[in-house]
Amino acid sequence: MQHLSVPSAETEKILQTLQSGGNLPESARVITNPDEPGHRLIPFIGILAGDLLEYQVHEIDTKPSPKSYRDHLQHILPVEIFESIDWPTRHEFIGDLILIKLDEMQRQYGTEIAQAFLHQHTRVRAVFEDRGVTGQFRVRDLFLLGVRNGENPTTHTFLTEGGHKIAVDPSKVYYSSRLSTEREGTLDCARRLSVELGRPLSICDPYAGVGPSIVPLLSEPDLVGELFVNDMNPATTDFLKMNIKHPNVTIECTDARQLKQRDELSESFDLLLMNIPHDTISHLPELLPLLRKGGIVRGWAVIENSDFESASNYLTQILGHNVNIEIRRSYSATANLCRFEAKKTD
Ligand SMILES: C[S@@+](CC[C@H](N)C(=O)[O-])C[C@H]1O[C@@H](n2cnc3c(N)ncnc32)[C@H](O)[C@@H]1O
């Protein structure tokens, strides 16, 4: 098909001219001109006139293979709509689902966006708009945009993290793949501690979600002895039962701060995970009594830049020795997600 090579900035104007002259083919697809930087190629039909004659004409035989869902979207939507909107550049895979954040303009074309994704990713079952996390349990507000023909539009899925299969439903329980590297670090920490102690570890994950921090530890021979996992969200219990197969596991659903009242749990764990980033620092004194002397607490906390020093001093004070807080990634313009790892010495 014949294409006009036009400066990128003029694309919209020329599309309109072609459209009004009846020269724009249906589902026209604008592509980058690989031979002329800053130029795009617009297909046309019929005979051109006027200013359009100033542009170079290229005969293009083959269509480049689609690289993104936007390449499909371009065929689904009328060209003037496709060209008028900034389409999302990020989306998240959770198992066989795609979750995508949309603004008001993009949301009007949610069905078409889903159609384009389902075309691009043949293993994806359904596409949901992610309207953010809600409530104390930080579950996602998901809105179905599209599902593959004949498939179930459920948000329940199985994902693979570090080679391990994990059942999850992001609309009912918390899950984020962003913390997966932190979980690899937890595995390293547990290995080191187990070597140091010369035995399997007794581990407590009081804010376990669906258990992604624990799952990788279970495939290491003799790493995990007793295991106590808990989450206050009642929907996590079934997922924890599915994901955590261990002969010596206790699964509970309570406010983690209540656990200190249980005599049988007092000073009974070698490793304590504190992953409730907005509350880790305030909850820590209530959970520390569960840790044995010589045990390690590994925690994640969102800390405002202005509070960093006081958080560091506070941890040092409650653990009785200097605690190093590491910034792991930016959380907002003024805060970071941080991690600390500290031994209980008395
Ligand atoms: C940031 S998520 C971490 C989940 C999991 N550790 C992970 O890495 O995916 C925090 C979890 O704490 C749970 N939660 C919130 N408040 C709690 C509380 N007071 N006691 C126990 N669990 C709580 C939430 O339901 C959520 O699953």
For residue 325, how far is its CA from the centre of ligand 1 (angstroms)?
21
Vertex 300: Cα angle to 130 and 97 (nearest 5): 25
CATH number for 2-64 (one of 3.30.70, 3.30.310, 3.40.50, 3.30.60): it is 3.30.70
Ligand 1, from 169, 175, 262, 276: best to mutate by most atoms within 8 Å of Cβ?
276
The predicted pLDDT at position 169 comes to: 98
Q: What is the pLDDT along the chain (346 residues), one digit of tens a residue?
A: 899 999 988 998 899 899 888 899 877 788 888 888 889 999 999 999 888 999 999 988 755 556 799 999 999 999 999 999 999 999 999 999 999 999 999 999 999 999 999 999 999 999 999 999 999 999 999 999 999 999 999 999 999 998 999 999 999 999 998 888 899 999 999 999 999 999 999 999 999 999 999 999 999 999 999 999 999 999 999 999 999 999 999 999 999 999 999 999 999 999 999 999 999 999 999 999 999 999 999 999 999 999 999 999 999 999 999 999 999 999 999 999 999 999 999 7
Ligand 1 atom at minimal distance to the Cα of residue 300: 1
Q: Which atom of ligand 1 is nearest to the CA of 233?
A: 25
| Ligand 1 pocket, residue 231 CB under 6 Å | yes
Instruction: Tell me how many degrees the CA angle 157-159-278 measures, rounded to the nearest 5.
Output: 95
- Separation between Cα atoms, residue 116 and residue 121, nearest integer Å: 9
CB of 151 shorter than 6 A to ligand 1: no
- For residue 275, what is the enclosing H or E element? strand 269-275
CA-to-CA distance for 261 and 229, rounded, in angstroms? 16
- CB of residue 109 inside a 6 A radius of ligand 1: no
Residues 6+ apart with CB under 8 A from 52: 4, 14, 17, 18, 21, 23, 44
Å from CA of 49 to ligand 1 middle: 65
103 lines ligand 1 (CB under 6 A): no
- CATH numeric code, 177-343: 3.40.50.150
- 229 CB near ligand 1 (under 6 Å): no
| Residue-range domain boundaries for the chain | 2-64, 92-155, 177-343
* CATH entry, 92-155, from 2.60.120.330, 3.40.1190.20, 3.30.300.110, 1.20.1260.60: 3.30.300.110
174 lines ligand 1 (CB under 6 A): yes
Cβ atoms 146, 112 nearer than 8 A: no
CB of 134 closer than 6 A to ligand 1?
no
How far is 299 from 281, CA to CA, in rounded Å? 8
What's the Cα-to-Cα distance from 8 to each of 12, 58, 175, rounded to whole Å?
A: 8, 16, 41
Ligand 1 atom nearest residue 231's Cα: 22
In single-letter form, the type of residue at position 309 comes to E
The preferred substitution site among 232, 244, 252 for testing ligand 1, maximizing ligand atoms within 8 Å of CB, is 232
Q: Is the CB of 275 under 6 A from ligand 1?
A: yes
pLDDT at residue 248, rounded to an integer: 96
3-state secondary structure 227-271: EEEECCCCCHHHHHHHHCCCCCEEEECCCHHHHHHCHHHCCCEEE
Cβ 335 vs Cβ 304: under 8 Å: yes
Distance CA 107, CA 129 (A): 8
Looking at residue 188, its pLDDT comes to: 96
Strand partners of residue 273: 298
Coil/strand/helix, residue 141: strand
